[in-house]
């Protein structure tokens, strides 16, 4: 939630600092601002709106100076106003900070400071910390000491970057339960809440751990522990993400571009060494009990994976939403597998922490290198999908689903549930999938677009599927809600007749995820539900496979995918539904890459 950036250079950095928060805009886009030290004075500009809107008002990119901090906000404490936007200045205007996370004891600190005459401009917890700095500096007259003294007083989770005219050469940064990374350049250094803050300028990064602070200069940096002052030696990561992957290319939106990245994303997922996949499968095999966990889209990926494990490995592992994970008792011998694109999601991190404390083993499939979740688990698989900029997850979710398919397949082989022949056949199907994804993207996008256009006015949708297509329907309904703001409810097709059928009438549209004909039981059950809707005057849209005349006859409109393996069929439908949501949102003129009220990584509880 929210993006932080800071640069220390010898040259003017106004344009680069502005670019860096533009590259972070997907993390929050209610308001933004920049603060720079210009000729010994702090210059602060901020306002409400997206980055380009604020730039048009405030000329952020024209700001002058060689050291500065910037922030793009997704409001948590305090509504969306210019005063509440970051950076925040201290009341004597000597310190300026940007902050992510929540200072949980800010109310009492604020009251104390107010009783001492401090005047607050905003309602944020952040402004409390910057004024504590002012107070500590009056006592210590030393920036590092004041920074540490102020930190001693706050509770909660935070990453903070501070700039002050008292030290024009350095930024002061701290991390606790909210991500912060350093980027190391030539004669310049960077700090950011994620890699995209500085990926355009350097590929050398250091991931800060909780309880570490940094005094960051343009040629030097020193990382120490807040508690002991001890210097910490950190390894430097080389980031191999391609900068171009985080650009929009010729596409009108990141969401569309990222859907079209999917053949490549699946190829990357196929390249993950088999030893890593079987290492994770082995953890499942050894566990007394195992749980699959994620939240939002990754919860649905966990749900889809449930079906993979049961059909390919004859094992049932419950999927739980991270925010509800505390209902289960975990203990030593259990395994908790988390799925997370960002690797920073608060609910998932908290649930993993609970699992670790209870003595369970933990594993994760994560996209962002150096993220908290990737560092905290016993085994991690880095999915290598490249930066996902659109707030709505598409390519990362698909890759995670594909990776889980590989893990389930490996477990099925290890447990001798699959014969060698069947295992080999499934492997071949997986290897052919990137080509299939390319083909369906090329061939079907026009059809999907037409259906989306003709139905974008529909305010209420049912998304329905049986078996593994049920969580695909749930995930697809979430995509639809996120980008179109229309109501879409995912449910099992067989569940419909137990109540929701009463809503069916021509205006209510039902999107069915129709299995392959060879998946006979699932196919029959889906067809029954489709006919139930049709008979009651409902409008039926199908995502199905070619040659399915029976399903086609029930549909008002349909997307017909080429024949493919049953293994990959649900993934192909997932892609079509992503595209459907995209084109419906396009027709409705929605803010596709940054839907209202959402942010990319939800690092708050
Ligand atoms: C939906 C979406 C969210 C995330 C969820 C978990 O398109 O993006 O539902 O899936 O917030 O985020 P990560 O995967 O970063 O843990």
Is there an atom of ligand 1 within 6 Å of 268 CB?
no
- Under the banding of pLDDT at 50, 70 and 90, the label for residue 476 is very high
- Under the banding of pLDDT at 50, 70 and 90, the label for residue 77 is low
Is there an atom of ligand 1 within 6 Å of 136 CB?
no
The pLDDT value given to residue 5? 97
* Short-list 123, 101, 97, 96, CA closest to 28: 101
Q: How many helices (H) and strands (E) does the chain have?
A: 17, 24
User: Tens digits of per-residue pLDDT, 21-65?
Assistant: 998 887 777 899 999 999 899 999 999 998 999 999 999 999 999
- What CA–CA distance (Å, rounded) separates 370 from 242? 16
Q: From the options 3.60.20.10, 2.160.10.10, 3.90.1150.10, 3.20.20.70, give the CATH code of 3-239.
A: 3.60.20.10
- Average pLDDT for the chain: 94
- Nearest atom of ligand 1 to the alpha carbon of 479: 7
Q: How far is the CA of 323 from the centre of ligand 1 (A)?
A: 12
**Residue 469 pLDDT > 70:** yes
272 bridge partner residues:
none
The pLDDT value given to residue 101? 87
Which of 153-162, 238-247, 367-376 has maximum average pLDDT? 153-162
- What CA–CA distance (Å, rounded) separates 538 from 506? 4
User: For the stretch 445-474, what's the b/e string if a residue is b when 16 or more beta carbons lie within 10 angstroms of its beta carbon?
Assistant: bebbbebbeebbebeebbbbbbbbbbbbbb
- End-to-end Cα distance, the chain: 11
> Which residue is catalytic, options 2, 173, 466, 568?
2
**Residue 244 pLDDT > 70:** no
User: Tens digits of per-residue pLDDT, 410-426?
Assistant: 999 999 999 999 999 99
- Under the banding of pLDDT at 50, 70 and 90, the label for residue 566 is very high
- Nearest atom of ligand 1 to the alpha carbon of 373: 16
- What CA–CA distance (Å, rounded) separates 126 from 87? 9
Please say if 466 is a catalytic residue.
Answer: no
Q: How far is the CA of 297 from the centre of ligand 1 (A)?
A: 5
* Cβ–Cβ under 8 Å, residues 508 and 538: yes
* Residue-range domain boundaries for the chain: 3-239, 243-418, 442-592
Q: What share of the chain is helix, strand, coil (3-state, %, to 5)?
A: 45, 20, 35
- Nearest atom of ligand 1 to the alpha carbon of 394: 7
Q: How far is the CA of 244 from the centre of ligand 1 (A)?
A: 23
DSSP H or E stretch at residue 402: helix 395-414
The pLDDT value given to residue 223? 97
Homologous superfamily of domain range 442-592: Glucose-6-phosphate isomerase like protein; domain 1 (3.40.50.10490)
* Cβ–Cβ under 8 Å, residues 509 and 538: yes
* Short-list 90, 88, 71, 89, CA closest to 30: 71
The residue with greater pLDDT, 236 or 602, is: 236
When pLDDT is averaged across residues 468-491 and rounded to a whole number, the result is: 98
**Residue 194 pLDDT > 90:** no
Phi/psi at 444 (nearest 5 deg)?
A: -100, -15
Helices (H), 141-201: 143-153
The pLDDT value given to residue 343? 93
> Dihedral through CA 517, CA 522, CA 526, CA 528, nearest 10?
100
Is there an atom of ligand 1 within 6 Å of 342 CB?
yes
The pLDDT value given to residue 169? 96
Is there an atom of ligand 1 within 6 Å of 393 CB?
yes
- What CA–CA distance (Å, rounded) separates 461 from 479? 12
User: Tens digits of per-residue pLDDT, 201-227?
Assistant: 999 999 999 999 999 999 999 999 999
Q: How far is the CA of 340 from the centre of ligand 1 (A)?
A: 7
- Under the banding of pLDDT at 50, 70 and 90, the label for residue 242 is low
Asked if the domains at 3-239 and 243-418 fall in one CATH topology, the answer is no
The pLDDT value given to residue 157? 87
Nearest residue by C-alpha to atom 10 in ligand 1: 297
The pLDDT value given to residue 28? 75
In this structure, of 242-246, 270-274, 480-484, the range with the lowest mean pLDDT score is 242-246
The pLDDT value given to residue 599? 78
Please say if 188 is a catalytic residue.
Answer: no
Pocket test for ligand 1, best of 259, 298, 488, 604 (most atoms within 8 A of CB): 298
- What CA–CA distance (Å, rounded) separates 391 from 590? 13
Strand order in the sheet with 237-238: 41-48, 31-38, 67-73, 3-8, 189-192, 181-184, 204-207, 237-238
Q: How far is the CA of 395 from the centre of ligand 1 (A)?
A: 12
535 burial (CB, 10 Å; 0-12 / 13-18 / 19+) is exposed
* Short-list 62, 52, 74, 53, CA closest to 4: 74
When pLDDT is averaged across residues 568-584 and rounded to a whole number, the result is: 98
- Under the banding of pLDDT at 50, 70 and 90, the label for residue 234 is very high
CATH class of 243-418: alpha beta
């Amino acid at each position: 939630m929210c993006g932080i950036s800071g640069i220390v250079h010898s040259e003017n950095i106004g344009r680069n600092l502005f670019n860096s928060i533009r590259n972070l805009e997907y993390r929050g886009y209610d308001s933004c601002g920049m603060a720079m030290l210009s000729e010994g004075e702090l210059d602060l500009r901020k306002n409400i709106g997206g980055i380009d809107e604020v730039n048009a008002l405030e000329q952020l990119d024209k700001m002058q100076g060689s050291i500065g901090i910037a922030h793009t906000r997704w409001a948590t404490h305090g509504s969306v106003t210019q005063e509440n936007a970051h950076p925040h200045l201290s009341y004597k205007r000597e310190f300026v900070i940007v902050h992510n996370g929540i200072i949980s004891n800010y109310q009492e600190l604020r009251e104390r400071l107010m009783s001492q005459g401090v005047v607050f401009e905003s309602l944020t917890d952040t402004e409390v910390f910057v004024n504590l700095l002012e107070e500590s500096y009056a006592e210590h007259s030393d920036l590092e000491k004041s920074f540490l003294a102020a930190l001693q007083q706050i509770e909660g989770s935070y990453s903070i970057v501070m700039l002050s005219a008292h030290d024009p050469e350095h930024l002061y940064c701290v991390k606790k339960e909210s991500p912060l990374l350093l980027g190391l350049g030539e004669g310049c250094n960077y700090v950011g809440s994620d890699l995209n803050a500085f990926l355009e300028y350097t590929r050398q990064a250091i991931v800060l751990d909780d309880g570490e602070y940094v005094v960051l200069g343009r040629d030097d940096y020193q990382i120490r522990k807040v508690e002991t002052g001890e210097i910490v030696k950190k390894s430097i990561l080389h980031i191999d993400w391609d900068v171009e992957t985080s650009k929009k290319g010729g596409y009108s939106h990141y969401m569309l571009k990222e859907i079209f990245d999917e053949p490549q994303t699946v190829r990357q997922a196929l390249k993950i060494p088999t030893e890593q996949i079987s290492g994770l499968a082995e953890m499942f095999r050894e566990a007394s009990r195992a749980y699959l966990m994620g939240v939002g889209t990754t919860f649905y990926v966990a749900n889809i994976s449930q079906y993979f494990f049961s059909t390919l490995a004859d094992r049932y592992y419950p999927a739980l939403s991270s925010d509800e994970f505390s209902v289960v008792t975990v203990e030593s011998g259990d395994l908790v597998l988390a799925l997370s694109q960002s690797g920073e999601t608060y609910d998932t991190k908290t649930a993993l922490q609970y699992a670790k404390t209870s003595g369970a083993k933990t594993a994760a499939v994560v996209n962002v290198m150096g993220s908290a979740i990737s560092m905290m688990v016993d085994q991690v698989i880095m999915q290598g999908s490249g930066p996902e900029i659109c707030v709505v997850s598409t390519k990362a979710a698909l890759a995670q689903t594909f990776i889980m398919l590989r893990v389930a397949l490996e477990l099925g082989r290890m447990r001798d549930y699959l014969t060698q022949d069947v295992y080999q056949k499934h492997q071949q199907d997986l290897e052919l999938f990137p080509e299939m994804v390319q083909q369906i993207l090329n061939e079907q996008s026009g059809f999907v677009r037409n259906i989306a256009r003709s139905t974008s006015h529909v305010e209420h949708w049912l998304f329905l599927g049986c078996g593994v297509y049920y969580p695909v329907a749930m995930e697809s309904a979430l995509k639809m809600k996120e980008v179109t703001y229309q109501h879409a409810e995912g449910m099992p097709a067989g569940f419909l007749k137990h109540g929701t059928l009463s809503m069916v009438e021509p205006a209510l549209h039902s999107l069915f995820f129709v299995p392959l004909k060879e998946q006979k039981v699932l196919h029959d059950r889906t067809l029954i539900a489709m006919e139930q809707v049709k008979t009651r005057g409902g409008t039926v849209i199908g995502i199905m496979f070619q040659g399915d005349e029976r399903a086609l006859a029930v549909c008002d409109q349909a997307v017909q995918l080429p024949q493919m393996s049953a293994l990959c069929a649900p993934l192909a439908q997932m892609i079509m539904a992503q595209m459907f949501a995209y084109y419906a949102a396009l027709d409705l003129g929605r803010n596709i890459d940054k839907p209202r009220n959402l942010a990319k990584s939800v690092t708050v509880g």
